[in-house]
A and B are shown apart, each in its own frame.
Chain A
Amino acid sequence: MAHRSSGFWAEAWRRYRRRPLGIAALGFVGLLVVIAVFAPAIAGTKPVLCRYKGRLYAPCLGYFDRRLEPAIFAKDKFRGTYPKNLAAKDPESWAIWPLVFQDPYRPVRADEWPGRPENPAMDQGHPTWSNLFGTDQGGVDVFAKMVHGTTIALLVGFVSMGIAGTIGIVVGAIGGFFGGWIDSVTSRLTEIVMCIPTLVLILAIVAIIEKPSIWHTMAIIGFTGWTGIARLTRGEFLRIRGSEYVTAARASGAGPLRIMVRHILPNALAPILVPITFGIAAAILTESGLSFLGFGSPPPSASWGSVLNGARSNLAMWWLVVFPGTAIFLTVLAYNLIGEGLQEATDPRLREARK
């Protein structure tokens, strides 16, 4: 009988694990993380690792940030094409190449890689063995674009919901905890932001920023998407504020900040995490929708939505619809399933029903 009862989160995880779809969804997001991290090693035209003039280099890091590409290759006038240049300028050199020799930003030319023809452009670029997902209008490989776009899809979700979660929790917590006129002010603020048509706000802000980047898009989605989280946090804080343990904490002399952070927030976190997870799905939808409309991050960033945008002008190129469309769908579905699993695992009302 001296069995130690498991904590809330351990219990929630035990419940979550019972849902095969939830586990599959977590696995899918994990797979996306792996793809995003190893993107330059999966598809690219820069060696993962090479030995050149007696030293080891990893030019593929240039895909993460241009500055990480070793300067020696620019000095030796490689101009981004490695295979021939490596052999010509240093016969002793060797290199480990990415799994798929295709570039997300430019078409591969005819004699660049032994036995590989030039990437076809326009509606000739249907999927083949050298271009797994086909090529877009400019002849750029869709598979490479999508592998490198995985980073954006993941970042959009986490960064924008990180921002929205922070604002929502802070605003909701302050309103719910203090009540009175402070609550009126924060509630009105939430209502106003809720009423502004999000797309207008995003389009207007994107137009105002001189050089919009993917980070701006993420920030805007974050700054407009916090209202639901704020409302829920407010409700939870209102509910918990009156409970006995909060009164006890107050009686023992804890200040408002300490009560909010140490006593209320941990108990309100589970229900707040649910809309945040659903929000990640919504953020990915918004970003790809914006890129699809042509308002997303500018080229050369390869967002999945921008691949879809290419299909609008030429619907015969069905591969520009099917592959990125399926990727967006599966990612959104995965986050929604995780959110649903989280809800069922942590909501005590739903838990009783399952018994």
Chain B
Amino acid sequence: MATYLVRRLLLGLLTLVAITTIVYGLARNMPGSPLTAQLGEDPSRKINAADYERMQRAYGLDKSWPEGYLQWAGNLLRGDLGRSITRKQPVASLIAERLGPTLLVSGTAFVLIWMLAIPIGLYSSARAGKPDERLTSLALYALYSFPTFVAALFLQVVFAVWAKGTPWELPLFGMTDLPTDAPIGSRLVDVARHMILPVTCQTYVSLAYDIRFIRANMEEAVRQDYIRTARAKGAGPWRVLFRHAFRNTLIPLVTLLGLSLPSLMGGSIIIEQIFTWPGMGRLFFESIRERDYPTIMGLTLMFSVLTLLGQLLADLLYCLVDPRVSVD
């Protein structure tokens, strides 16, 4: 077990080095720099060459990208993620600031997904082949193929444009319209109203996917010999479904949970972008546009670590729930 963990962690470290090198190299080779992207074409904000060079040196942009990468990695080893160039703020605190809003949406979506996916998945495997099940299945399939950005736009048209002036109207953008000194109760309600559309968008695709996943696994499980045995000894249909079939589909389900970790923390870039939700996904998008290398790197590192951790966690949970699986 210990040797397995050490090997996995070492390999993970290697993967991390490779990913961050690639992303740093790509980011530094994008045309423009944080200085030019920030100042734009505005002639009144043009700075003279000497100032520009001084600023470049201050941010370490005068070095080649391999040197810059080594410097970034060195700082990282000392626990320093660097400072955002365009936002004049440490990257770590910038990420911490955006983590809350992202978790608010994706956490809510996550709870909703699993609260709905397991009962619906079990229901549709219990009613397999019946007309109502086929209809649900087809609807879920359609939902799964429905692109989130199209759904987001549809929802925006319906709830923000067509429902304008009715009680059904929902806010389009951002997290809250109220000032920070508004009473806490009304602020909570306001944030909740802003959350409805992004949460809906983030929920439905995964929901459709997870239900189909549960169903596919159940279909496999109910064909096993132990199900026939359970039926033969007289267990009722629901008991067979829960105690015998579903328990055995928990393993792939747990893996799926592990693999959804990065998207839970990282949020969805497109959804946050459409609803201008001040989360991590949007921060990522903005930092790419602003060529804010430290922020791009900080977020990439976070996403990669989470992805790798999710995979490791999934594998470890796998042998925890299933004694037949051994890592060694």
Decide yes or no whether A200 CB sits under 8 A from chain B. yes
**Please, which residues of chain A bring their CB within 8 A of the CB of B220?**
349
State the CA gap A203–B26 with chains docked (Å): 10
Q: Is B153 an interface residue (CB 8 A)?
A: yes
- Within A293-349, the residues touching B (CB, 8 Å) are 293, 308, 311-312, 315-316, 318, 321-322, 325, 328-329, 332-333, 336-337, 340, 349
Write out the residue numbers on chain B whose beta carbons fall within 8 Å of the beta carbon of A205. 26
Min CB distance B161 to A, Å, is 5
Contact B19 A336 (CB under 8 A): no
Q: Are B27's CB and A188's CB within 8 A?
A: no
Within B190-219, which residues are at the interface with A (CB < 8 Å)?
A: 219
Indicate if the CB atoms of B23 and A208 lie closer than 8 Å. no
Which of B60-68, B94-102, B142-150, B178-186 contacts the other chain? B142-150
How many A-B contacts are there with CB distance less than 8 Å? 109
> Is the pair B145, A200 in contact by a Cβ cutoff of 8 Å?
no
Residues of A with C-beta under 8 A to B219: 353
A166 to chain B, nearest CB (A): 21
The yes or no answer to B52 lying at the interface (CB within 8 A) is no
Interface-lining segment among B81-89, B115-123, B303-311: B303-311
DSSP majority for the B interface? helix
The answer to whether the Cβ of B250 comes within 8 Å of any Cβ in the partner chain is: no
B270 is an interface residue with CB less than 8 A from chain A: yes
Chain B 112-150: CB-based contact to A (< 8 A → 1; otherwise 0): 000000000000000000000000001001101111011
Complex-state Cα separation, A355 to B303, whole angstroms: 45
Shortest Cβ distance from residue A58 to the other chain B in the assembled complex, whole angstroms: 36
Q: A192-B15, A192-B19, A315-B153 are in contact. Are A336 and B144 (CB under 8 A)?
A: yes
Whether A308 lies near B153 (C-beta < 8 A) is yes
Contact partner of B145 (CB less than 8 A), chosen from A188, A196, A210, A329, is A329
Partner of B22 from A196, A199, A316, A329 at Cβ < 8 Å: A196
A207 within 8 A of B: yes
CA distance A340 to B172 in the complex (A): 36
| A positions within 8 Å CB-CB of B | 21, 188, 191-192, 194-197, 199-201, 203-205, 207-208, 210, 281, 285, 288-289, 292-293, 308, 311-312, 315-316, 318, 321-322, 325, 328-329, 332-333, 336-337, 340, 349, 353
Query: Could you pull out 5 A-B pairs where Cβ atoms are within 8 angstroms?
Result: A21-B138, A188-B11, A205-B26, A312-B274, A333-B145
Closest 5 CB pairs of A and B: A325-B150, A333-B145, A204-B26, A207-B30, A321-B153
